[in-house]
Amino acid sequence: MDSNELKIVLTGMLDMLGADKKSHNVPALVSQITKDLDSSHDGKVSKDEFVKGLMANPSLRALMNPFN
């Protein structure tokens, strides 16, 4: 997924959690998540990179899990 798709996923998760998007810097979060998860450095996060990255990062895993 590219940064636009990641932004859509992240915004959807924040909506589902009822989070105030104004208090979150979504573009900065997208940039940081891409930096953290894009192990191939191609500017995209593959499904495999996404899953491995979330499994290795408890903070990201918590952010993406609406059932905490």
Which two tokens mark 29?
């979060």
Quick one: pLDDT at residue 5?
92
Encode the chain (68 residues) as per-residue pLDDT tens digits: 999 998 998 888 878 777 776 777 889 988 988 998 999 999 999 999 988 988 898 887 877 776 66
The sign of the dihedral angle between the CA atoms of 49, 55, 64, 37 is: negative
Predicted confidence at residue 68, as pLDDT, reads 60
Which structural domain range is residue 27 located in?
Answer: 3-64
Please give the tally of structural domains in the chain. 1
Quote the CA–CA distance of 20 and 41 in Å, as a whole number.
Answer: 31
In Å, how far from its chain's centre is CA 10? Answer: 5
Quote the pLDDT of residue 59.
81
**Residue owning tokens 């105030």:** 20
